[in-house]
Chain A
């Protein structure tokens, strides 16, 4: 058993590097979650809309995004996509934190594709008569959706959405390929500097695991507190 240097992880410059990586990973996940939820809902509604071209649009989005690996998305949004922008906008972007912005765009689009499918199945799980009842009461399509169907649908969607959030949390690690200094990147840097592979990746592993378990715990608590109580 090689000796395990805890001091590396508990204090000093390498501890700070790993911690800043963890914070950035959490930020990436939070910003992506906030951006991708509304987008996912929008895509789900597109796919369920009575208008055919909108359905096709939603279908095309989901299938084109979720069938390409996230790594390819990440490289595309960093290396290729910004090159199509007008020069002044591009230079403004490149002067800022283009790495993190590209990563957030790629993660948001990717996560939204998966989440929209979960939301869509949640909506379809609500009997169609609920929508019809709303329409019968004189509400329009969007209003019946908003007031009658979605509140019930989102409640049953929580469990799969939590699962997608876990995926999102782990997927933030892919951002390392475009030079975002998140947890996996910093673990690699610490490994390069200290040759302490075991320590740095043990830190990354336990950090990913802890945050994942926290998300799972929050989900279990939510289910217990709200969903079961309501359905009783």
Chain B
């Protein structure tokens, strides 16, 4: 009894190891499926549709396209935020599509695809100020929140700016409305939210298209997964050149969605980050 238990444990371990070793394109095609790790809790990247109980989202659509190009079935596996990279490294998933931020530290652990979503910190300005580009804010007073990465990022992008920080983003926004500064800088998502809350007066405001700093989300594969990264990037390039990538972005992030972004300010064409 004990021996059979032990041997089955060894068998399981072996199968895990073997799954880990052969995860390149040929192995995936052999299996007939690609296991994609996703969060399932991060709308609109991947979340459970309350009606169908299926995981849907921006990253899920991208994963489906990749599976289609490989000619295999996509299998989604829900994983926790902290488990993302370990699950990939241990071979339990072939591909991560899990709201993973591409940063320099993680490059040593996994291989990143081209960035599929680029967000960042942006500036909200009054249209009457005539400011339409970031560099017009040089030397001006810029308002933001204390404690985050906003202030260092503003000074990196605009070293001559005079930054005034407040305890809450509401106070900083109020100061902008009163004309106490030229721009209010915050994370893009927070800014869109605030913009919506201004209500009818929002017509008098604009969010500058350029990012002060960027955060890129990318798909990730194991370091030893051979030509899988190439295959993933090929699918992404196809989606980008056919315009489907833009459509997918607008479907999940565009007008009428919770994110309510008017347009896409990035392209899926680079796997480099700053």
Binding site for B on A (CB under 8 A): 79, 82-83, 90-91, 94, 98-99, 177-179, 185, 188-189, 192-193
Indicate if the CB atoms of A188 and B146 lie closer than 8 Å. yes
Q: Which of B143, B174, B180 is the most central at the interface, judged by chain A CB atoms within 10 Å of its CB?
A: B180
* CB nearest to A82 among chain B residues: B178
* Given known contacts A79-B174, A91-B179, A94-B178, A192 and B146 CB-to-CB distance under 8 angstroms: yes
Indicate if the CB atoms of B166 and A177 lie closer than 8 Å. yes
* Given known contacts A79-B174, A82-B178, A94-B180, A189 and B151 CB-to-CB distance under 8 angstroms: yes
A residues near B148, Cβ cutoff 8 Å: 192
Q: Is B175 an interface residue (CB 8 A)?
A: yes
Task: Please report the C-alpha to C-alpha distance between residue A179 and residue B148 in the assembled complex, in whole angstroms.
Answer: 15
* Given known contacts A79-B174, A179-B164, A179-B165, A193 and B152 CB-to-CB distance under 8 angstroms: yes
Q: Is B167 an interface residue (CB 8 A)?
A: yes
Instruction: Report the interface size class on chain B.
Output: 10 to 19
* CB nearest to A93 among chain B residues: B180
Q: Among A98, A177, A188, A193, which residue has its beta carbon within 8 angstroms of that of B180?
A: A98
Q: Is B147 an interface residue (CB 8 A)?
A: yes
B residues near A179, Cβ cutoff 8 Å: 143, 164-166, 175
Task: Please report the C-alpha to C-alpha distance between residue A147 and residue B165 in the assembled complex, in whole angstroms.
Answer: 49
Task: Please report the C-alpha to C-alpha distance between residue A82 and residue B179 in the assembled complex, in whole angstroms.
Answer: 11
* Given known contacts A94-B180, A192-B146, A177 and B167 CB-to-CB distance under 8 angstroms: yes
B residues near A99, Cβ cutoff 8 Å: 164
Q: Among B151, B166, B174, which residue has its beta carbon within 8 angstroms of that of A192?
A: B151
Q: Which of B143, B148, B174, B178 is the most central at the interface, judged by chain A CB atoms within 10 Å of its CB?
A: B178
Indicate if the CB atoms of A79 and B175 lie closer than 8 Å. yes
- CB-CB contacts below 8 Å: B130-168 with A: 143, 146-148, 151-152, 164-167
Task: Please report the C-alpha to C-alpha distance between residue A99 and residue B248 in the assembled complex, in whole angstroms.
Answer: 45
Of all A-B residue pairs in the complex, the 9 with the closest CB atoms, nearest first, are A179-B164, A94-B179, A94-B180, A192-B147, A98-B180, A179-B166, A179-B165, A177-B167, A79-B174
Task: Please report the C-alpha to C-alpha distance between residue A38 and residue B150 in the assembled complex, in whole angstroms.
Answer: 42
Q: Mark B174-193, 1 if CB is under 8 A from A, else 0.
A: 11001110000000000000
Indicate if the CB atoms of A83 and B178 lie closer than 8 Å. yes
Q: In whole Å, how far is B213's beta carbon from the nearest beta carbon of chain A?
A: 15
Q: In whole Å, how far is B173's beta carbon from the nearest beta carbon of chain A?
A: 11
A residues near B166, Cβ cutoff 8 Å: 177-179
A residues near B167, Cβ cutoff 8 Å: 177
Question: Could you list 19 A-B pairs, sorted by A, with CB under 8 Å?
Answer: A79-B171, A79-B174, A79-B178, A90-B179, A91-B179, A94-B178, A94-B180, A98-B180, A99-B164, A177-B167, A178-B166, A179-B164, A179-B165, A179-B175, A185-B165, A189-B165, A192-B146, A192-B147, A192-B152
B residues near A91, Cβ cutoff 8 Å: 179
Task: Please report the C-alpha to C-alpha distance between residue A82 and residue B171 in the assembled complex, in whole angstroms.
Answer: 15
Task: Please report the C-alpha to C-alpha distance between residue A94 and residue B180 in the assembled complex, in whole angstroms.
Answer: 5
Besides the contacts A179-B164, A185-B165, A192-B147, what 9 more A-B pairs have beta carbons closer than 8 Å?
A90-B179, A94-B180, A98-B180, A179-B166, A188-B147, A189-B151, A189-B165, A192-B146, A192-B148
* CB nearest to A79 among chain B residues: B174
* CB nearest to B181 among chain A residues: A94
B residues near A90, Cβ cutoff 8 Å: 179
Task: Please report the C-alpha to C-alpha distance between residue A90 and residue B174 in the assembled complex, in whole angstroms.
Answer: 15
Task: Please report the C-alpha to C-alpha distance between residue A108 and residue B45 in the assembled complex, in whole angstroms.
Answer: 53
B residues near A98, Cβ cutoff 8 Å: 180
Task: Please report the C-alpha to C-alpha distance between residue A89 and residue B87 in the assembled complex, in whole angstroms.
Answer: 62
A residues near B147, Cβ cutoff 8 Å: 188, 192
Task: Please report the C-alpha to C-alpha distance between residue A178 and residue B175 in the assembled complex, in whole angstroms.
Answer: 10
